[in-house]
Copies of this chain bind each other. A is one copy, B any other.
Amino acid sequence: MPKKSFENDEKTVDRLTHLGKKIKNQLKDPEEDNLTIETQVRSRSNVEFDEEDGRLSLGDSYSTRKFLNISHARKFMQTLMVASKTKELVQQGRTASIREVYYQLKHSVPGLDENTFDDQDESNNVVVDIETATGAIREDLHLFAEPKGRLFGPIKIDDSGDIIDGMSMGTSGMAINSIVDHFEFVECEADFVLVVETSAMVNRLVEEDFHKDHNAVIIGTGGQPARGARRLINMLNDELDLPVYVFTDGDPWGYYIYSVIKSGSMSLAFQSDRLATPEARLVGMTMEDIEEYGLEHVTENLKGKSGDNGGPTKDYKRINDVMDYPWMETEEWQNQLQKMIDKGVRIEQQALASQSLEFVANEYLPQKIENRNFLD
């Protein structure tokens, strides 16, 4: 395969080099008795919602990791080893899994009865330290995770020199890998991107030729979307100006998937600019669909209403959580979630099959999109 070069490669090498130089200067300077690296606090307390931008981001809290004495020596060594290894990956144009990095660096320290790393948790934690210390994210460091999700539709993608034709994928689809930053969109006839929560619904839409009949790039997330799928949606919207419609179950879990695609997630708030797509809109399922399409007999009851044993749990608790997110505080969303509580039910994408298998592809989605009947 040709070398993997990403947009940020030069910046990433600079950042890693800068980290190394800073540590080297601290070591040399006799005045300096604090050997430290500074990392951005990633917990919820430091997550902010930028209303203007429509994305989550990290606030200004930093924490300092100190390497003061002999008890920190191990962590210090590990940090430099991982930083050096990822710099090598970027410079060589290769990618690796975090597990491979662990095995590449694991060995006994000469002269000591001690391993560099004892288990992968140690190297994983160091990777996170380096991400927040340098501002370079895992993908910038050329580290990949599990593939998740599928793509179909009228788009041709150059992936490492191979041209993948999303229109010639049968029922199979292109698997979405965890790193997609190197994709080039060489041709696109699509009018919009349809993001679909469940794999079964993707199969349905593909069997009905929805992607062909409606010029849609279909992205199946297989539940909660992974980083690769989120990045790809962002790129399709940003580089090709494609509108993004999100199609989930009508329940708090589905709506949270929508919110992650639109505004970003708390744990990855520091990279919402590349993962979140504020222009995304929810096409369904909504509480109004239940009456509109005669789905009363195929709803499912919500679970976990508060009772003798205290506050709400399960579905009800999740609804409350989602209602409390600052980025879901619009009137439209609060009404939608309140309606769910009042009705006491959820409605799944698959419930549309109660009309007919083809109903979702031939009537439901085309009507909603035509009438711009969306939730923001």
Binding site for B on A (CB under 8 A): 1, 4, 94-97, 99-104, 106-108, 115, 144, 146-147, 150, 157-164, 167-177, 179, 199-200, 203-204, 206-209, 222, 297-298, 348, 350-354, 357
Contact = CB atoms under 8 A, between A and B. Distances in A.
B164 A169 contact: yes
A208 B171 contact: no
Contacts of A351: 103
B163 A168 contact: yes
A104 B353 contact: yes
B200 A99 contact: yes
A106 B297 contact: yes
Contacts of A94: 207, 357
A237 B160 CA distance: 29
A103 B164 contact: no
A100 B350 contact: yes
Given A103-B350, A106-B354, A297-B107, A171 B160 contact: yes
A185 B184 CA distance: 29
A348 B168 CA distance: 36
A289 to B, nearest CB: 14
Contact of A1 (B108, B173, B206): B206
B203 A144 contact: yes
A4 B94 CA distance: 41
Contacts of A164: 168-170, 172
B147 A199 contact: yes
9 contacts: A100-B200, A100-B357, A103-B298, A106-B297, A147-B199, A157-B170, A159-B172, A160-B170, A175-B175
Nearest to A102: B350
Given A106-B298, A160-B171, A174-B175, 13 more contacts: A1-B171, A1-B206, A94-B357, A95-B207, A100-B350, A103-B298, A103-B348, A103-B350, A103-B354, A147-B199, A150-B175, A157-B170, A172-B177
